[in-house]
Amino acid sequence: MIDWYDGTAVGIERTVMPSASDAFALRRWAAHGYETDSASFGDTGFWTQLNERDLTDVEQPVLPDGFRFRNADEAGPQAAVQAHLDA
């Protein structure tokens, strides 16, 4: 994705905001020449929050009778796009 971003955004200022706690993302961006903006840290800077959760202890959802889960392939691309827009 970073290669695509580099190729798509040629000639314009490019910014990204990986979380400081997301070591994997920070290493990947640094490998492509991106640097951390120190002005984004602290109380006056911009920040993001990375929330992670192990999904092995999440209970299986129960749907009402007559409902079922569908994946994006079953629902189709338009429904998948609409779900993201509605989120």
Tell me which residue range forms the domain holding 68: 2-50+62-86
23 in any annotated domain:
yes
12 in any annotated domain:
yes
CB 5 within 8 A of CB 14: yes
57 in any annotated domain:
no
What average pLDDT values come out for the chain (87 residues) when binned by 10 residues?
83 74 82 77 70 85 92 88 90
Per-residue pLDDT at 11: 84
- The per-residue b/e assignment along 16-46, b for 16 or more CB within 10 angstroms, e otherwise, is eebeeeeeebbeebeeeebeeeeeeeeeeee
